[in-house]
Amino acid sequence: MSTCKYNQINRLFLFLFLIPSLSWATEPYSPKVVNPLSESWRWKHFPELEGKGVRSIVEDANGIVWMGYNEGVFEYDGYTWKEHTAGKGLPASPVEEVFAARNGNIYAAASNGIFRYDRNSWTPVLEPEKGFAIQFHEITELSDGSLMFSTGQGAIHLSEKRKPYFYTSAARIENLKRYFKDVQWVRLPEEAVGSAGFNDISDVLEGQNGMIWFALTMPNETGRLLKFKLPAQPGAYITDYELIKSGPGFQLGEGQKLIQA
């Protein structure tokens, strides 16, 4: 066979071999999108939490995870579990909210009060008298290190420098005085709470300019925002404030949560 004919056969064979490859290369590529929540390797089962009624989870600056549950607070460092319950110094159950403050203290809020953990022991910070249960929604740390607790009765401002301040309506103060001792009462503006009263304060936010925002839930599933400057020494009333209600194009509802972008 001549060299010329041999080369022609080789070129023909190479052409026939490449035809399927060229056809495959022209097929459109369709990426497969996988839902990360459906990938089992991303999940870890913790039997220690089964049936415990975990309500709140927070991670402190050291990477330790704290969880409020039916009987108290779980502490988990990634290896071992530690329970803080009534038998171990924390007489609070169920714990609705748990919070890790910047100074290292851990706070637990339950229907029977607020408790602080200094890494050695739990101390009651604010406890109502027996017969009264208070519901907690959120815990917010302000720039000065003090804490605001959003509750079904109003907002509680807790500072290590002075006794707690309780922000609520004038109509509620007389009843609450029977259960909370040694607190300073601050009345919310009548314009804000309305004649029918308010249901709760669902959240508190401190803006970059130091303004405090209260998210109020009103009757009929509506909401309002109360904005004011927190004085160095709060008085019995909030006098300098701005009230934001629903208006054209927007509707404030119940259970509002506040965030600053």
pLDDT by residue for the chain (261 residues), tens only, comes to: 555 555 554 554 544 444 555 445 567 888 888 888 888 888 888 999 999 999 999 999 999 999 999 999 999 999 999 999 999 999 998 999 999 999 999 999 999 999 999 999 999 999 999 999 999 999 999 999 999 999 999 999 999 889 999 999 999 999 999 999 999 999 999 999 998 899 999 999 999 889 999 999 999 999 999 999 998 888 899 999 999 999 898 899 999 999 998
pLDDT score, position 25 = 53
What are φ and ψ of residue 118, in 5° steps? Answer: -100, 25
pLDDT score, position 12 = 47
What are φ and ψ of residue 176, in 5° steps? Answer: -65, -30
Q: Is residue 121 part of a domain?
A: yes
pLDDT score, position 168 = 98
Return the CATH number at 79. 2.130.10.10
Q: Is residue 40 part of a domain?
A: no
| Beta strands 184-187 and 162-168, pairing class | parallel
How many residues can be counted in the chain? 261
Number of domains in the chain: 1
Cα separations (Å) of 253 from 3, 138, 236?
Answer: 88, 17, 28
CA dist 62 and 37 (Å) reads 27
Token digits of residue 174: 């007389």
Token digits of residue 259: 């965030």
Token digits of residue 187: 């009345």
Q: Is residue 33 part of a domain?
A: no
Edge-to-edge strand list for the sheet holding 72-76: 56-59, 65-69, 72-76, 81-85
Q: Is residue 95 part of a domain?
A: yes
The reported pTM is: 0.84
Owning domain of residue 73: 46-244
Which positions ≥6 away from 55 have C-beta within 8 Å?
A: 68, 69, 94, 95, 96, 97
Q: Is residue 114 part of a domain?
A: yes
Q: Is residue 105 part of a domain?
A: yes
Q: Is residue 35 part of a domain?
A: no
Q: Is residue 256 part of a domain?
A: no
